[in-house]
C-alpha cells in the first residue's frame, strides 16, 4: 500500500510539473502588465529551453535572490570544452540579432578571495572582441581561456590560479533579451562611452538601457540594496564589486536565463547533482554612492540658482557627503560658456572622478581645481597634473581662510547641501561642519548656493544656515555619497580584538577612515570597555556601532561619511555634535584632553616606527588628513595612546606593510608620534623603545612569510644585531583572510521540527523531479 501511495505521488508530481519552463513563462507573461519588458524575458526563457532541448543539454529552474523576494531562473548547462556547441550558443544569443537582441554578461566562477571581472559579449564570432572596462578588449576566445577559466592571465595562457582548470564549473552567462530599440541604444553607448553617464563600464549597459537588476525604491534598506545593480549610475568601483553575485541573485524577473559553462563530464555531474553549491554566494555589500551625471537639471532650477555666481569666481565645495555632484556638473556646464571660468576648491570623495575629469579637461582651462586632500576620486587627475594639491592640516585651513593676507582662500561662493528648513527657517548642514562657517566668517558677502536635499539629516551643533542667507537654491533627492563597503574578514576581526584590549575605558577616542576598523566595536565589547567619549574628525559606521552598543554615549565630529543608515541615524541625534575641524583636529586641544586615544591607519610602517599614509609606488595615493594632528596630540596627552592599525600585507598578500624603506622615503607621521602598531598578528609597543627594540617589535607583528627577510635585511643594515634576532618569532601560523559575520549580525537558525523535515523531504522530491532535466 505504501508503495502504491508513493507511486501515485510520483506520477502526480511528474504530470503536474512536466514542464516547469512553461510555468515560468506563464508567470512572466502574467506580470507583463506591470512590467512590459517581461514579454521579451518570457521569449528568452522559451528560446533558452528550446536551445537546451535541441542540443540535449541539462537544465534546472532554481529560486535565487533575497529571502523576501525570490525569483525563478532557468539554468542551462553547456559543455565549454565542446567548441561546436559553444559556437551554436554564440550564434543563438547575441546583440547582432536586430529582432531579438540579447545581452550576454559573462563571468568566471568565483573562488574565495578572487573576483573575476565580468565582460559584455555582443558578437556571435568567438574571435570578436569582448567589452571590458568600458571599451573593446581581447577576443572572447582569449578571455575565456585566460580569465574566465584561469582567473586572470597575461594573455599568453599564464595564470596565478592553475587549480581553476580543475573546477567543474568555469563560469556563467547572464542573458537579457532586449527590445529592438534597447538593442539600438546599447550599440550607441558602446560606440560612445561618454554618453553613458558617470559609470563607463560595460556592465553599466544594464543601467543605460533602463534595465534594473534589483528592486529600486528610494526607501530601500541596506539589506535590500545588496540585490541592486545600478540605480541612476554609480561610481565604477561600486559597480564592479560583487557584480557577479548581484547578477546571479538579482531580484528581478527580467533576469531569468543563465547559461552555466561546464568543464566536460565532471561539470555535467556537478550541474545535475549539486548546482546550487557552484553558484556565487549572495552579495554582502549594499550599494552606496549614487551619483547623477553631467547635465542633470530637468527643470532648469539648478542653472537658475547658479546665475548669482559671476564669471571668475572662487568656489568652495565641502568634504564628502556635503559636496553636491549635481551643482558641480552644472558649474562645469556653465563654465564652458564663460570667458574666465571658475577656480574650485574641492576636498575628498563627494564627487566622482568622471565628473571632475569633465571639468579638468574643459577647453581653455575654464575649470581650475585645487584640493586640500587627494582622495581616490582625484588620484589619477592629480597624477596627470589636472588637480593641484595644497598640503596642510584640516585645523590649519580655517585659519588660512580667515587670514586677510591669504587671498587664494577668499571665496566668492560656497556650494553646500542642506536639509529642508525647520519651522524657524533654519537649514542644517547635516553630516558636515568641517570649515564651512570659517568661510562664512572670512567673507560675510560670500554667496551661498544650497542644494536642499531630503536625505540630509538635521544634525546637532553649530551647523545651521538661515534661509535668508542663501543666494540661490535647488532641490534634489540624490543619495549622499558614502565610502565603498567591503566584506569584513578575519584580519579586521583580529585587529579589532587587539584594539579592544589596547583602548582604555574612560578614554577619548578618535578613529580614522577605513574598513580596517570594522571589527573595533566587537573588540571593545568583548574587552568590556565602557564610558568612552568620541572626538573624531570623521564619524563613520564603526563609531555609530560603538555608540549603539553603549560603549560610548556622546561624540563630537567635523563631518560624517558612511552608509545611508548612518545618515538616518544622525537625524536629530543629540548625542553627536558637529563642530569645526579647527576645533576637533587641533593638536593643542587633543593633547590637553587626558587619555586621548588616536587610532589611524597607513600604507606602510618602517622598522623605526615612521609611518607612510600618503605615497604609493607610483606616486601620491592620499593625504595626511587629520592623522598627524591626532597622533602628535595623543602622544602628548596624559594617559593617551597614539596607535596605527594596519594589515600586515598589501597587494593581496604580495607585499609586506612592515618595511625597511618607505615609498619615496615619505614620512606622514614620524616615529616619535607612533606609540603602538597593531596588525592581525598582535601589538607592537614602540614608546620608550630603542630603534633595535622597535624593529624587533614590528617584525614580530609582520606577516610570517616576510619575517625572515625583514630580519636578515635589518641585520645587514645594522638595525638589529644577530643576537637581537633571537627574539624574532618565525614559526607563527598564518591568519586566513576570509569574510566573517560579525557579532549581532548573524541570523540564528533553529533545527526543523518533524513536520518541517517531512515538508522539506517532499519539496526536495518535487524539485528534483520538476526542475532537473538530464541530457537525452
In the Cβ-directed half-sphere of 112, how many Cα atoms lie within 13 Å? 6
In contact, 457 and 567? CB cutoff 8 Å: yes
State the CB neighbour count (10 A cutoff) for residue 19: 10
In contact, 529 and 504? CB cutoff 8 Å: yes
The radius of gyration of the chain's CA atoms, rounded to the nearest angstrom, is: 29
Cα pseudo-dihedral 228, 232, 235, 236, rounded to 10: 70
* DSSP 8-state secondary structure symbol assigned to residue 669: B
CA distance 523 to 616: 30
CA distance 577 to 461: 5
Cα 277 from chain centroid (whole Å): 26
CA distance 354 to 765: 52
What three-state secondary structure class fits 479?
A: coil
| 464-466 vs 532-539, strand pairing mode | unpaired
Range list of β-strands (E), 158-284: 169-177, 257-262
Q: In what order do the strands lie in the sheet with 604-606?
A: 611-612, 604-606, 658-659
Backbone angles phi, psi at 407, to 5 degrees: -65, -30
Biggest alpha carbon–alpha carbon distance for the chain: 100
**In the structure grid, which three cell numbers stand for residue 15, read together?**
504530470
Residues 6+ apart with CB under 8 A from 473: 305, 449, 450, 451, 452
Nearest to 443 by CA among 469, 468, 463: 469
CA distance 308 to 445: 12
CA distance 432 to 417: 9
In contact, 115 and 123? CB cutoff 8 Å: no
Nearest to 438 by CA among 539, 344, 579, 342: 579
Q: At what angle do helices 704-716 and 691-699 cross, to 10 degrees?
A: 160
Instruction: Report how far apart, in Å, the C-alpha atoms of 435 and of each of 420, 503, 583 are.
Output: 21, 29, 10
Range list of β-strands (E), 149-273: 169-177, 257-262
Nearest to 691 by CA among 719, 658, 723: 719
In contact, 85 and 78? CB cutoff 8 Å: yes
**In the structure grid, which three cell numbers stand for residue 443, read together?**
567673507
Cα pseudo-dihedral 479, 481, 487, 493, rounded to 10: -120
User: What length is written for the chain?
Assistant: 776
CA distance 118 to 111: 14
What three-state secondary structure class fits 308?
A: helix
CA distance 40 to 588: 66
* DSSP 8-state secondary structure symbol assigned to residue 145: I
CA distance 587 to 87: 66
**In the structure grid, which three cell numbers stand for residue 650, read together?**
598589501
Catalytic positions: 537
Nearest to 322 by CA among 351, 302, 343, 300: 351
Cα 711 from chain centroid (whole Å): 36
In contact, 625 and 397? CB cutoff 8 Å: no
Residues 6+ apart with CB under 8 A from 265: none
Amino acid at each position: 500500500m505504501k508503495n502504491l501511495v508513493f507511486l501515485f505521488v510520483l506520477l502526480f508530481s511528474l504530470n503536474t510539473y512536466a514542464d516547469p519552463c512553461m510555468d515560468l513563462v506563464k508567470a512572466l507573461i502574467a506580470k507583463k502588465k506591470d512590467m512590459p519588458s517581461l514579454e521579451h524575458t518570457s521569449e528568452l526563457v522559451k528560446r533558452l529551453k528550446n536551445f537546451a532541448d535541441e542540443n540535449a543539454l541539462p537544465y534546472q529552474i532554481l529560486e535565487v535572490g533575497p529571502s523576501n523576494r525570490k525569483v525563478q531562473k532557468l539554468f542551462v548547462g553547456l559543455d565549454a570544452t565542446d567548441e561546436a556547441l559553444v559556437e551554436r550558443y554564440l550564434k543563438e544569443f547575441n546583440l547582432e540579432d536586430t529582432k531579438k537582441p540579447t545581452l550576454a554578461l559573462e563571468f568566471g566562477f568565483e573562488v574565495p578571495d578572487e573576483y573575476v571581472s565580468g565582460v559584455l559579449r555582443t558578437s556571435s564570432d568567438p574571435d570578436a572582441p569582448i567589452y571590458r572596462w568600458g571599451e573593446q578588449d581581447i577576443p572572447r576566445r582569449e578571455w575565456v581561456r585566460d580569465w574566465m577559466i584561469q582567473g586572470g592571465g597575461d594573455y599568453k595562457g599564464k595564470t596565478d590560479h592553475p587549480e581553476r582548470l580543475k573546477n567543474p564549473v568555469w563560469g556563467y552567462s547572464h542573458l537579457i533579451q532586449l527590445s529592438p530599440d534597447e538593442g539600438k541604444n546599447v550599440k550607441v553607448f558602446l560606440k560612445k562611452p561618454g554618453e553613458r553617464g558617470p559609470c563607463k563600464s560595460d556592465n553599466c549597459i544594464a543601467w543605460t538601457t533602463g534595465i534594473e537588476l534589483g528592486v529600486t525604491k528610494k526607501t530601500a534598506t541596506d539589506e535590500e540594496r545588496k540585490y541592486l545593480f545600478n540605480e541612476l549610475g554609480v561610481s565604477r568601483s561600486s559597480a564592479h564589486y560583487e557584480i557577479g553575485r548581484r547578477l546571479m541573485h538579482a531580484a528581478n524577473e527580467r533576469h531569468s536565463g543563465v547559461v552555466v559553462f561546464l568543464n566536460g563530464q565532471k561539470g555535467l555531474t556537478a550541474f545535475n547533482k549539486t548546482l546550487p553549491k557552484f553558484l556565487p554566494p549572495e552579495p554582502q555589500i549594499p550599494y552606496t554612492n549614487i551619483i547623477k551625471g553631467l547635465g542633470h537639471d530637468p527643470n532648469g532650477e539648478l542653472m537658475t540658482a547658479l546665475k548669482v555666481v559671476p564669471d571668475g569666481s572662487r568656489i568652495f565645495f565641502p568634504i564628502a557627503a556635503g559636496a553636491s555632484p549635481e551643482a558641480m556638473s552644472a558649474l562645469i556646464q556653465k563654465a564652458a560658456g564663460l570667458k574666465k571660468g571658475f577656480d574650485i576648491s574641492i576636498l575628498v570623495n563627494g564627487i566622482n572622478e568622471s565628473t571632475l575629469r569633465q571639468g579638468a579637461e574643459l577647453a581653455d582651462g575654464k575649470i581650475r581645481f585645487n584640493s586640500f586632500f587627494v582622495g581616490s576620486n582625484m588620484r589619477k587627475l592629480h597624477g596627470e597634473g589636472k588637480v593641484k594639491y595644497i598640503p596642510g592640516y584640516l585645523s590649519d585651513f580655517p585659519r588660512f581662510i580667515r587670514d586677510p593676507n591669504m587671498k587664494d582662500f577668499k571665496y566668492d561662493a560656497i556650494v553646500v547641501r542642506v536639509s529642508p528648513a525647520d519651522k524657524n527657517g533654519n537649514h542644517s548642514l547635516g553630516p558636515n561642519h568641517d570649515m564651512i562657517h570659517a568661510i562664512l566668517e572670512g567673507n560675510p558677502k560670500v554667496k551661498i548656493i544650497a542644494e536642499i536635499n531630503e536625505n540630509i539629516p538635521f544634525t546637532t551643533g553649530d551647523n545651521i544656515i538661515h534661509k535668508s542667507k542663501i543666494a540661490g537654491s535647488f532641490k534634489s533627492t540624490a543619495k549622499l555619497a558614502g565610502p565603498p563597503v567591503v566584506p569584513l574578514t578575519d584580519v579586521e576581526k583580529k585587529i579589532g580584538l587587539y584594539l579592544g584590549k589596547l583602548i582604555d575605558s574612560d578614554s577619548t577616542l578618535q578613529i580614522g577612515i577605513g574598513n580596517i576598523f570594522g571589527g573595533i566595536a566587537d573588540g571593545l565589547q568583548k574587552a568590556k570597555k565602557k564610558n568612552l567619549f568620541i572626538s573624531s574628525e570623521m564619524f563613520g559606521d564603526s563609531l555609530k556601532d560603538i555608540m549603539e552598543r553603549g560603549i560610548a554615549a556622546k561624540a563630537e565630529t567635523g563631518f560624517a561619511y558612511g552608509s545611508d543608515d548612518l545618515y538616518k541615524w544622525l537625524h536629530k541625534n543629540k548625542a553627536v555634535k558637529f563642530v569645526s575641524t579647527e576645533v576637533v583636529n587641533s593638536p593643542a586641544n587633543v593633547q590637553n584632553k587626558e587619555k586621548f586615544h588616536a587610532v589611524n591607519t597607513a600604507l606602510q610602517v618602517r622598522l623605526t616606527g615612521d609611518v607612510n599614509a600618503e605615497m604609493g609606488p607610483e606616486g601620491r595615493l592620499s593625504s595626511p588628513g587629520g592623522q598627524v594632528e591626532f597622533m602628535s596630540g595623543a602622544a602628548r596627552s596624559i594617559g593617551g595612546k597614539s596607535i596605527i592599525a594596519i594589515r600586515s600585507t598589501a597587494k593581496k598578500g604580495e607585499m609586506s606593510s612592515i618595511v625597511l624603506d618607505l615609498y619615496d622615503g615619505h614620512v606622514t607621521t614620524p616615529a616619535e608620534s607612533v606609540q603602538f602598531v597593531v596588525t592581525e598578528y598582535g601589538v607592537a609597543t614602540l614608546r620608550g623603545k630603542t630603534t633595535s627594540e622597535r624593529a624587533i617589535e614590528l617584525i614580530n607583528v609582520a606577516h610570517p612569510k616576510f619575517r625572515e627577510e625583514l630580519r636578515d635585511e635589518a641585520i645587514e643594515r645594522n638595525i638589529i644585531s644577530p643576537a637581537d634576532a633571537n627574539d624574532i618569532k618565525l614559526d607563527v601560523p598564518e591568519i586566513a583572510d576570509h569574510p566573517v559575520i560579525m557579532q549581532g549580525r548573524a541570523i540564528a537558525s533553529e533545527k526543523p521540527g518533524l513536520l518541517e523535515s517531512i515538508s522539506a523531504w517532499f519539496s526536495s522530491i518535487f524539485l528534483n523531479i520538476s526542475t532537473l532535466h538530464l541530457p537525452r
